[in-house]
Structure 1
């Protein structure tokens, strides 16, 4: 597959709400797990998650979408790549 995601072991943004942080951690891990199926290079994954604007999802980054509670959109986007609908 020609798709290249951009993201490394990186630090998640701290939040002051522990319950909210737990949800973000689970969502982050779900996105990361799917992204790793597409690209195993941690640095590219980090860069993709933090900086790549996803035009199909309103020009927001995966991080912005996850933090806004739209993890389902990011997961759907990654699944479409995994199925070969997008590269």
Structure 2
């Protein structure tokens, strides 16, 4: 699921907690913020914000031309790139 911003996400977090769901703290995912909760059948749901968005570290025109990784995955870049299929544009 998605929300436009952090305030809307906090509203969802509070609403879900008030209804008895175990909701995570906000997780910074670099391009958006996420909260997670499980419903009674144990399915994991994510509610992510639209902001800051994917154009934070490259222009909209350049999106998808390079693999962008969050800082905590940069040390694994070589391993990750080896697992990805080659894409020829």
**Structure with higher strand content:** 2
Higher relative contact order (Cα pairs below 8 Å, separated by 6+ residues): 1
TM-score range, shorter chain: under 0.3
**Structure with higher helix content:** 1
TM-score (norm 1): 0.25
Larger Rg: 2
TM-score (norm 2): 0.25
